[in-house]
Amino acid sequence: MSGKWISLISLSRKCLMTTIVLFCAYILPVQDVYARETNLCNDFQSDITYYFETDNLINLGEFFAVGAVFANTNLDSYVRNRWQSSIRSRSLDRILTVPNAFAEYSVFYFPIYVVTAMIGQWFPNNLDAIDAYEWGYQSARTFVLGGIQQAVFTNLLGSGRPYLGQSSRWTPFRYKFGVSGHAMYGAIPLLTIANMSDTPIIKGLMYFLSALPAISRINNDKHYFSQAFLGWSIAFLTSRSVARTNLSDAEYNVFVGPTPDNGVRLLVVAKF
């Protein structure tokens, strides 16, 4: 690896650590938009508690069961060969260019989440700022909790890359590509929007778009289906747990704000 890339990686790590410190220092003592005291440690604890609830663990087991079947049989290789020979095309490559780029850089999105949450805190009576804060705060927590899982499972499962001719079978610590990081990190911001929205069309659109980074990794022959699927699955379950924390902490509140046509809109947030 060239000195240029080593320096870039070193700089990116320093930037990431700096934003984590800023995230902890800024978010811990402030009031969030639901008029409760934000405590990062308590929120993380709640996120983990919701993650290990029975229904979530059942879903996790189901997702990993699907991944296991594909990875440890010929299904992963079959899907890969069929996709590369019959589905992949120049047109599809062009269509997936944006999702692929989105996935490539998604691991560096954490600073964006932190800055967005910080800016949103500056305007507590602005509805758009409220949404920006929630999106940034939830995405950042999902990034951390999901990233830990991805780092553990991608090495523990030990499957390899398809374009390198490596096997998809789970062989602990043999390779380090068992769970696609790009599929997971690329899905987080879109899944967070889906969790925040009450509109079925927006939810459906965001779920669809959140899967495109995973599909782009399959299309580019960087990951087997099972690896991309598990990456998206971890993002889905983690973001859902984080959203449950925020919903459980919400109290009755009414926010007033302007509309683009100079009208007035009300936002009522209630705890159930």
Question: Mean pLDDT per segment of 10 residues, for the chain of length 272 residues?
Answer: 44 46 43 50 84 91 94 93 90 88 82 85 74 88 92 91 88 90 92 90 92 93 94 95 77 51 54 44
Q: Specify whether the CB–CB gap between 164 and 221 falls below 8 A.
A: no
The one-letter amino acid code at 272 reads F
Q: Specify whether the CB–CB gap between 168 and 79 falls below 8 A.
A: no
Q: Specify whether the CB–CB gap between 213 and 102 falls below 8 A.
A: yes
The one-letter amino acid code at 29 reads P
Report helix, strand or coil for 27: helix
The confidence score (pLDDT) of residue 83 equals: 92
Domain range annotation of the chain:
3-269
Q: What is the spatial distance between Cα 82 and Cα 86, in angstroms, rounded to a whole number?
A: 6
Q: How many helices (H) and strands (E) does the chain have?
A: 11, 2
The confidence score (pLDDT) of residue 240 equals: 93
The confidence score (pLDDT) of residue 258 equals: 55
Q: Specify whether the CB–CB gap between 158 and 172 falls below 8 A.
A: yes
Contacts by 261-270, CB closer than 8 A, 24 or more apart: 265/127, 267/127, 267/130, 269/33, 269/34
Query: What distance, in Å, lies between the first and last C-alpha atoms of the chain?
Result: 54
What is the pTM (predicted TM-score) of this model?
A: 0.77
